[in-house]
Chains A and B, each alone.
Chain A
Amino acid sequence: MLGYVLLAPSLFGVVTFMLLPMLVVLWLSLQRWDLLGPIEFAGLSNWQSVLTDRSFATSLVVTVLFIAMVVPAQTVLGLVAATMLARGLPGSSAFRTLYVLPWICAPLAIAVLWRWILAPTDGVVSTLLERRVEWLTDPGLALPVVSAVVVWTNVGYVTLFFLAGILNIPREIHNAASTDGANAWQRFRRITLPMLRPTFFFVLVTGIISAAQVFDTVYALTSGGPQGRTDLVAHRIYAEAFGEAAVGRAAVMAVVLFVLLVGVTIVQHLYFRRRITYDLT
């Protein structure tokens, strides 16, 4: 009995604020609601309109492109930084701590900060370049620039995991390889990288799942523009529900996003389980 008493508050939270909303969002996807008026049954019309709709398809494509830019970039940069920090040169731990700074700050505040830095007229970058560049309103530039801001935020965080992974590799393996005549690159390629496979798994999965949900950065930097070029799916859901008051359609998009995210997790698990590497025990 005592067990249930101790669980009661958290169980209330889990049921009311996690499980129930999942049911409500499914139900809402079959309703028509404009945030103010009555809720009316709409059958599958939301599903039909969203799945045949240009704006949602665009938003999914934009999100995939965004993930394809952010995740590889932050992973490679994080690995490079971790490799340098792992040499244990004096001051390394100070650098490590400093690199995480952007990640602990509110993404919303970071985005506002960069909005000024990238502002075409009185921004920092335009001043340094001495010419006006429309970083956030040029259709070709906006998404890469938003991606760069997110990468800038995340690199230090990714670095921490690679650093922990590298420091976990037993020294003896490296020493043995050195004795056998392996050079630094060979040791990195044949020992460090394979031994980091679990870290790669973690960094890639969490990277994809969090990039798929980026909202604050886009909200403050571009509001999804220009012409929907930075309209990431989380921002589309928000804009659909609270901008255009099409709550049923937003619910459909939320369900689709959830299914895709669960799918990503499962696929990556299957893939990496087959290839997870060398347990040394």
Chain B
Amino acid sequence: MTSPSRVLSGIVIYPLLVAGAVITLAPFLLGLLTSVTSTQQFSTESPLSLPTPPTLANYLDLADAGFGRALVVTALMTAVILLGQITFSVLAAYAFARLRFPGRDVLFWVYLATMMVPATVTVVPLYLMMAQAGLRNTFWALVLPFMFGSPYAIFLLREYFRTIPADLINAARTDGANTLDVIVHVVLPASRPILVTLALITVVSQWNNFMWPLVITSGGEWQVLTVATAGLQSRYNAQWTLVMAATTVAVVPLIVLFVALGRHIVRSIVVTGLK
């Protein structure tokens, strides 16, 4: 296959691929550079000039603006939702995949149907419900709507659990294992790839969540990173060095995760097709 046509196509294709990479990366790099530029330099020189010298002053200002707390709240929120979603989705998926009980198929159908319910539609009624429950601007309001499992995760896990050989489960059963033992010691170890996939997708979508936290929290107490960044941007509209430091803090943890697990994430996206 190292024919002349292949070399020729390489000559055409590589420049296009590189152009795509530059267009993808340039905004991030420019934002990063601006975030380490001093306010004085930014206001006097071209926004494209290199920071001389680079400074962390903008990041220190962010700490004063409460970004440390926002970072902790975001991480905590993501962790709680991740733990809850995986645990409860696994339990439900096991029931749908391996147990027989009346109404099982109807319930599964109901779960599938709720996948059509978009967040944009539920945000207003959920706000009312949370306000009535007295949970507005609390940590619980951030996590409750997402932590009891996701129908889509349950659907994917169920498909996966059905491929686990019944003999494996029956063998554990004859050794006296109860259902919880079976799930923990047989099903979960056999399902590692799909669990990694779901965990990654959950972390990405929850870390980036904006609309719900924006609506249900107010002030600095339970502010997440996306909301803090939006707030900073509207308050300090022209202070781009500070604002770029904020966007950097908001995206860097996921970019690090991405660099570490890029291959897994790419596969996860193709498997789940969903955010």
- Name A's B-contacting residues (CB within 8 A): 1-4, 6-7, 9-14, 16-22, 24-25, 28, 33, 35, 81, 84-85, 87, 89, 91-93, 95-102, 104-110, 112-117, 119, 122-124, 127-128, 152, 156-157, 160-161, 164, 202, 206, 209-210, 213, 215-216, 219-220, 233-234, 237-238, 241-242, 247, 250-251, 254-255, 257-258, 261-262, 265
CB distance from B22 to the nearest CB of A (A): 10
Nearest chain A residue, comparing its CB with the CB of B118: A213
Known: A93-B263, A113-B244, A117-B31. 13 other contacts (CB 8 A): A9-B87, A9-B88, A105-B250, A106-B210, A106-B225, A112-B243, A113-B31, A119-B240, A202-B273, A216-B210, A238-B211, A255-B121, A258-B121
Give the residues in chain B near A114, CB-CB below 8 Å: 27
Number of interface residues of B (CB under 8 A): 93
Task: Give the distance in Å from the alpha carbon of A28 to the alpha carbon of B247 in the complex.
Answer: 36
Q: Which of B6, B119, B208 has the most CB of A within 10 A?
A: B208
CB distance from B92 to the nearest CB of A (A): 4
Task: Give the distance in Å from the alpha carbon of A102 to the alpha carbon of B107 in the complex.
Answer: 37
Give the top 8 A-B pairs by smallest Cβ distance, nearest first.
A13-B148, A3-B101, A24-B125, A10-B149, A106-B208, A21-B125, A6-B95, A10-B92
CB distance B116 to A265 under 8 Å? yes
Instruction: Please pick, from A7, A33, A128, A161, the residue contacting B107 in the complex, using a CB distance under 8 A.
Output: A7
CB distance from A148 to the nearest CB of B (A): 11
A160 and B266 in contact (CB under 8 A), knowing A14-B151, A101-B258? yes
Task: Give the distance in Å from the alpha carbon of A113 to the alpha carbon of B243 in the complex.
Answer: 8
Task: Give the distance in Å from the alpha carbon of A165 to the alpha carbon of B270 in the complex.
Answer: 10
CB distance A213 to B119 under 8 Å? yes
Give the residues in chain B near A128, CB-CB below 8 Å: 48
CB distance B118 to A258 under 8 Å? yes
CB distance from A147 to the nearest CB of B (A): 16
CB distance B95 to A7 under 8 Å? yes
B10-18, B50-58, B165-173: which lies at the A interface?
A: B10-18
Give the residues in chain A near B229, CB-CB below 8 Å: 106, 108-109, 112
Query: Is B233 interfacial (CB-CB < 8 Å)?
Result: yes
Query: Is B162 interfacial (CB-CB < 8 Å)?
Result: no
A112 and B13 in contact (CB under 8 A), knowing A101-B258, A106-B207, A220-B233? no
CB distance B250 to A18 under 8 Å? no
Query: Is B230 interfacial (CB-CB < 8 Å)?
Result: yes
Query: Is B126 interfacial (CB-CB < 8 Å)?
Result: yes
CB distance B226 to A257 under 8 Å? no
Task: Give the distance in Å from the alpha carbon of A13 to the alpha carbon of B24 in the complex.
Answer: 38
CB distance from B41 to the nearest CB of A (A): 12
Instruction: Please pick, from A20, A35, A92, A156, the residue contacting B129 in the complex, using a CB distance under 8 A.
Output: A20
Residues 220-268 of B at the A interface (beta carbon under 8 Å): 225-226, 229-230, 233, 238, 240, 243-244, 246-247, 250-251, 254-255, 258, 262-263, 265-266
Give the residues in chain A near B226, CB-CB below 8 Å: 106, 108-109, 216
CB distance A254 to B99 under 8 Å? no
CB distance A17 to B122 under 8 Å? yes
CB distance B250 to A109 under 8 Å? yes
CB distance B117 to A22 under 8 Å? yes
CB distance B118 to A18 under 8 Å? no
CB distance B128 to A247 under 8 Å? yes
CB distance A89 to B46 under 8 Å? no
CB distance A96 to B119 under 8 Å? no
CB distance A25 to B122 under 8 Å? yes
Give the residues in chain B near A112, CB-CB below 8 Å: 229-230, 233, 243, 246-247
Give the residues in chain B near A89, CB-CB below 8 Å: 9-10, 13-14, 17
Give the residues in chain A near B225, CB-CB below 8 Å: 106
Task: Give the distance in Å from the alpha carbon of A12 to the alpha carbon of B210 in the complex.
Answer: 24
Give the residues in chain A near B96, CB-CB below 8 Å: 7
Residues 131-183 of B at the A interface (beta carbon under 8 Å): 131, 144-149, 151, 154, 179
CB distance B243 to A116 under 8 Å? yes
CB distance A215 to B122 under 8 Å? no
Task: Give the distance in Å from the alpha carbon of A92 to the alpha carbon of B20 in the complex.
Answer: 12
CB distance from A31 to the nearest CB of B (A): 9
CB distance A257 to B118 under 8 Å? yes
Query: Is B63 interfacial (CB-CB < 8 Å)?
Result: no
Nearest chain A residue, comparing its CB with the CB of B149: A10
Q: 16 A-B residue contacts at CB 8 Å?
A: A7-B92, A10-B154, A14-B149, A18-B122, A19-B110, A20-B129, A84-B16, A89-B9, A104-B254, A109-B226, A128-B48, A152-B24, A160-B266, A161-B270, A216-B210, A216-B211
CB distance from A105 to the nearest CB of B (A): 4
Give the residues in chain B near A254, CB-CB below 8 Å: 120-125
CB distance from A158 to the nearest CB of B (A): 11
Query: Is B94 interfacial (CB-CB < 8 Å)?
Result: yes
